[in-house]
Amino acid sequence: MTPLSVVLAHTLPELILAVGALLLLLLGAIRGKDSDGPMTELAVGVLGLAILSIVLGHKTALNLFDGSFIDDPFGRFMKVLVLIGSLVSLIMGQSYLAREKIDKFEYPILIVLSTLGMLMLISATGLIALYLGLELMSLALYVIAAFHRDNVRASEAGLKYFVLGALSSGMLLYGASLIYGFAGTVNFTGIASALHGEASLGVIFGLVFLTAGLAFKMSTVPFHMWTPDVYEGAPTPVTAFFASAPKLAAVAVTIRIMITAFPGIHTQWQQIIVFISILSMALGSFAAIGQTNIKRLMAYSSIGHMGFALVGLAANSPAGVQGVLAYMAIYLVMTLGTFAAILSMRIDGVYVEQISDLAGLARTRPAIAFFLAIMMFSLAGIPPLAGFFAKWYVFNAAIQAHLYPLAIIGVLMSTVAAYYYLRIVKVMYFDEPAPAFDRPSPTVAAVLAVTSLLILFLCVYPGAFVEATTVAAKSLF
């Protein structure tokens, strides 16, 4: 039996978030005020403490709770990314929520609870643990999608996400039930032992339903339908959170379950992943071209990027998983930086979202235009920025796995997607100036500057970053 001290040490990040959320909820109830007061700062402190507990904690891998929870390098790497996404989303959204008068104390608590679900999801090594983590993450997301309850678009976004999310959870649960029925166990290692060799039709059906539920959380085709409406309707800080942390958790658990639970039937799930990847890249590349709302454009962009990331998973190799981890880390930085720029789009105290509002930004706010241009070039995969290397890692893994058509389609779709990213740069630098934006809040400006510098730094000194992703990927095999 594992000593209690060891269990506590390996589950410390989750314990910090759980206890922190309860204390924040208690404090908020006692204060009884509408505004969040110091709640955001305290929530940021809780998330920061969880990051420190991972960075300074145990480095050995350990299975806990009868094989339903694991603490390993892969999980720790993805948990740090998720926590950073949640923390930065909280920091840069504070001024927006205050201006819109929706800075309620429940908001940071819901972010912390959702992040707790993500950490549980990333470490899940059983179907029951996976479902519990997924629901804990999702229930908080349903609420914050409609957090601006006096706004019709936000309420609509929350309702759409809830209804479609409930459908996807049902599909995932049905798939998990089928797999359990044929494997006789819910643990991933047990499923791998039971399902070696030729898979039965029932297992294939279970795998399809399970993947469908996970694809919804990653917002990949054909389960992407909620993404544009929710991204556009939800408050911008909520959209920034949706586009970063939950996607990373969903990708992490998809990688873990495919690699560890279904290694014996990899040809079956590889076909599903390739299908989802190609459709997501195509839709994300073409559907974004006609968008005029920048948040809606970022929704289709995120669908496309999830497709690119899954190219690495389709390779079914340590190099492929390493490529996905590198891609998701760089995607996180690019997404947070882009949404920091979107949160800077404020004219006379009113937030605007149209791409046309960026016209002539290089002359009215040159610093914001420069940093946003870096993000757009990186999202487009223009060398030598970090976004280019993210795509290079996954395409290279696909070529090593002899998935040549997938890599070629990925490169072609990346070329198409470059059009709408470069169009934003053209609007900022060559169009006649629109009314100037107000000065951005210090936190938003800091996030925009730091993420831009990270994009530049990763292409100059990628050594430690590549090593971290390699160690994390190898721990799964």
The 3-class SS string of 273-304 reads: HHHHHHHHHHHHHHHCCCCCEHHHHHHHHHHH
Burial environment of residue 140 by CB neighbours within 10 A (0 to 12, 13 to 18, 19 or more): buried
In a domain, 240, yes or no: no
In a domain, 128, yes or no: no
User: Residue 476 in contact with residue 256, Cβ under 8 Å?
Assistant: yes
Q: Mapping DSSP to helix (H, G, I), strand (E, B) and coil, where does residue 48 land? A: helix
Q: How does residue 150 score in pLDDT terms, banded at 50, 70 and 90?
A: confident
- Three-state SS sequence of 424-442: HHHHHHHCCCCCCCCCCCH
Instruction: Report pTM.
Output: 0.94
Q: Where in the sequence is the domain holding 400, given as residue range(s)? A: 264-477
Closest CA to 326 of 341, 305, 342: 305
* Integer Cα distance of 393 and 71 in angstroms: 26
Flag whether pLDDT at 40 surpasses 80.
Answer: yes
User: Residue 253 in contact with residue 130, Cβ under 8 Å?
Assistant: yes
- Residue-wise pLDDT for 294-311, tens only, equals 999 999 999 999 999 999
In a domain, 395, yes or no: yes
Q: Mapping DSSP to helix (H, G, I), strand (E, B) and coil, where does residue 459 land? A: helix
H helix or E strand, kind and range, residue 211:
helix 201-218
| Total domains in the fold of the chain | 1
Tokens of 452: 């831009």
- Residue-wise pLDDT for 78-134, tens only, equals 999 999 999 999 999 888 888 888 888 889 999 999 999 999 999 999 899 999 999
Burial environment of residue 180 by CB neighbours within 10 A (0 to 12, 13 to 18, 19 or more): middle
* Integer Cα distance of 458 and 473 in angstroms: 19
Q: Which amino acid is residue 45, in one-letter code?
A: G
Place of tokens 């809606």: 296
The reported pLDDT for the residue numbered 11 is 87
Flag whether pLDDT at 226 surpasses 90.
Answer: no
Q: How does residue 396 score in pLDDT terms, banded at 50, 70 and 90?
A: very high
In a domain, 384, yes or no: yes
In a domain, 457, yes or no: yes
In a domain, 213, yes or no: no
DSSP 126: B
Flag whether pLDDT at 33 surpasses 80.
Answer: no
In a domain, 450, yes or no: yes
Report the half-sphere exposure of 56 (CA within 13 A, side-chain side).
7
In a domain, 386, yes or no: yes
User: Residue 202 in contact with residue 181, Cβ under 8 Å?
Assistant: yes
Range in 14-23, 53-62, 179-188, 405-414 the model is least confident about? 53-62
Torsion over CA: 346, 91, 101, 296 (sign): positive
Residue with the bigger pLDDT between 22 and 265: it is: 22
